Amino acid sequence: MQAPTKHYTKQAQNIDARRRHYILAFVSYITSAIMFVYGVKNINAEQILLPVILFGTGLAFLLNILLFHLSRNLERACIAEAVLVGSFVLSLVYQGGFNNTALYWVFPFPAILFGLLGVRNALLSNALMLVALCIMLFMPELILAQYKDAEASRFIASLLIVIAVCWINEHYRERSHQAMDLLQQSKEIQANTDSLTGLANRRFIDSSLLPSLAQQPSQFFPLALIMCDIDHFKQLNDRFGHDAGDEVLKVVATLFHSNLRQNDIASRTGGEEFLLILPHTSRVDAFLVAEKIRRQFEHSRMLANNPEYKVSASFGVAVCDSADSFQDAVKLADQQMYLSKRNGRNQVN
């Protein structure tokens, strides 16, 4: 995590999960309530199959939402709900419904499948349901209900239109959300990234890292901090110009990237000051990392036009075990770095 590119899609994922949760709840509670009402109205019907379908599906919807509340597994609950929806549609069309009105009740369910499963899975599920309905309607000897040929063909044509419209709507809704998410990510990354070096900046530490430390401590602690300050940077700028200073800062950022792990964070917190954040690292190991980087400063040619000019840096190391002690550890690392400065620079403390 050397740049602040993590966790920026989490909010969008949470919003989409809530959307699917609401659809799941609507189908489970509202649709099952409607089924119970019609089940009661048809409880004395000649064909007992209709109230069985209505009561059975309604109870299955309620059982599924109950299991979801117990397990909190939204993906599994949505898949189960989609299977129940498909089973209900096929069962109702097979039986015919009250006064042969089953076909009218099919049209809301393609949209429900898209809401529960997403574009790709819903398109496949609707296609399978459409094939099954075609077989049932155009091979009438397989079902109990009796539908006219014209009624069946017009129903299939209308259902195709509904599925196509739902697919177009969901497809471009997802595309729109992806575009907005990428735009938001770009804005967040720009706000949290140092424009010169591409490293995280102080805002990233305050707005993203600190909340993560508090919310997910097991992913970070024990946490080692390395404060790094380039030695005699003002003299370098005065001698070679600010463009040369910028060149050095970029090389230093590249040096950090090549010496840190994927989950480590390199940030620029001041003009020539950097803070390296190393999750699950002891002070001894952090000291070794700082020493390795310090030696690479000595052997790196950081000025292309003046390769003989040597750039060094001073380092301070500290560790913390909780989010509450992070700022104190930063201050300690800073103090250790200034101790390196006072003791002659180009060293680790």
**What percent of the chain has pLDDT above 70?**
92
Q: What is the pLDDT of residue 7?
A: 46
Structure token pair of residue 284: 């001894």
Q: How confident is the model at residue 176 (pLDDT cuts 50, 70, 90)?
A: low
Is the confidence at residue 5, as pLDDT, over 70? no
Structure token pair of residue 221: 């602690």
Is the confidence at residue 48, as pLDDT, over 50? yes
| Domain contains 348 | no
Q: Do 164 and 294 fall within a single domain?
A: no
Closest Cα to residue 32, out of 66, 64, 55? 55
Q: What is the pLDDT of residue 177?
A: 61
| Domain contains 336 | yes
Could you report the per-residue pLDDT of 88-129, keeping only the tens digit for each? 999 999 999 888 888 988 998 999 999 899 888 999 999 999
> Is 100 within 8 Å of 126 (Cβ atoms)?
no
Q: Do 118 and 250 fall within a single domain?
A: no
Q: What is the pLDDT of residue 6?
A: 46
Tokens 């400065």 found at: 341
The mean per-residue pLDDT over the stretch 280-300 comes to 94
Could you report the per-residue pLDDT of 182-215, keeping only the tens digit for each? 544 544 555 678 889 989 998 888 888 898 888 8
Tokens 């800073």 found at: 334
The mean per-residue pLDDT over the stretch 138-160 comes to 89
Domain residue limits at 235: 202-342
pTM for this model (two decimals): 0.54
The mean per-residue pLDDT over the stretch 150-162 comes to 91
| Domain contains 19 | yes
Strand arrangement, sheet containing 265-268? 265-268, 273-279, 223-230, 313-320
151 in active site: no
Q: Out of 47-56, 166-175, 256-265, pick the least confident.
A: 166-175
Q: Do 177 and 28 fall within a single domain?
A: yes
Mean pLDDT, the chain, integer: 88
The residue from 123, 154, 184 where one domain ends is 184
Q: In angstroms, what CA-CA distances link 272 with 193, 241, 269?
A: 15, 15, 8
Q: Do 262 and 170 fall within a single domain?
A: no
Q: Out of 130-139, 150-159, 178-187, pick the least confident.
A: 178-187
Other beta carbons less than 10 A from residue 35's beta carbon: 22
Could you report the per-residue pLDDT of 53-71, keeping only the tens digit for each? 999 999 999 999 999 999 9
The mean per-residue pLDDT over the stretch 23-41 comes to 91
In degrees and rounded to multiples of 5, residue 348 shows phi and psi of: -120, 135
pLDDT greater at residue 313 or residue 146: 313
Q: Do 317 and 209 fall within a single domain?
A: yes
| Domain contains 46 | yes
| Domain contains 190 | no
Q: Do 38 and 180 fall within a single domain?
A: yes
Q: Do 289 and 163 fall within a single domain?
A: no
> Is 210 within 8 Å of 326 (Cβ atoms)?
yes
Q: Do 155 and 283 fall within a single domain?
A: no
Q: Do 170 and 300 fall within a single domain?
A: no
Q: Do 88 and 130 fall within a single domain?
A: yes
| Domain contains 191 | no
Out of 170, 188, 247, 272, the active site residue is: 272
Is the confidence at residue 181, as pLDDT, over 60? no
Pairwise CA distance, residues 116 & 24, whole Å: 7
The mean per-residue pLDDT over the stretch 24-31 comes to 91
The residue from 156, 184, 212 where one domain ends is 184
Q: Do 218 and 171 fall within a single domain?
A: no
Q: What is the pLDDT of residue 150?
A: 86
Q: What is the pLDDT of residue 300?
A: 87
| Domain contains 2 | no
Q: What is the pLDDT of residue 339?
A: 97
Q: What CATH number did the domain enclosing 237 receive?
A: 3.30.70.270
Is the confidence at residue 272, as pLDDT, over 80? yes
Give the type of residue at 310: K
Q: Out of 75-84, 129-138, 176-185, 258-267, pick the least confident.
A: 176-185
Q: What is the pLDDT of residue 1?
A: 44
- Domains identified in the chain, total number: 2
Closest Cα to residue 297, out of 348, 241, 238, 237? 348
Q: What is the pLDDT of residue 186?
A: 47
| Domain contains 189 | no
Q: Do 38 and 105 fall within a single domain?
A: yes
HEC string of the chain equals: CCCCCCCCCHHHHHHHHHHHHHHHHHHHHHHHHHHHHHHHHCCCCCCCHHHHHHHHHHHHHHHHHHHHHHHCCHHHHHHHHHHHHHHHHHHHHHHCCHHHCHHHHCCHHHHHHHHHHCHHHHHHHHHHHHHHHHHHHHCHHHCCCCCCHHHHHHHHHHHHHHHHHHHHHHHHHHHHHHHHHHHHHHHHHHHHECCCCCCECHHHHHHHHHHHHHHCHHHCCCEEEEEEEECCHHHHHHHHCHHHHHHHHHHHHHHHHHHCCCCCEEEECCCCEEEEEEECCCHHHHHHHHHHHHHHHHHCCCCCCCCCCCCCEEEEEEEECCHHHHHHHHHHHHHHHHHHHHCCCCCEC
Is the confidence at residue 28, as pLDDT, over 80? yes
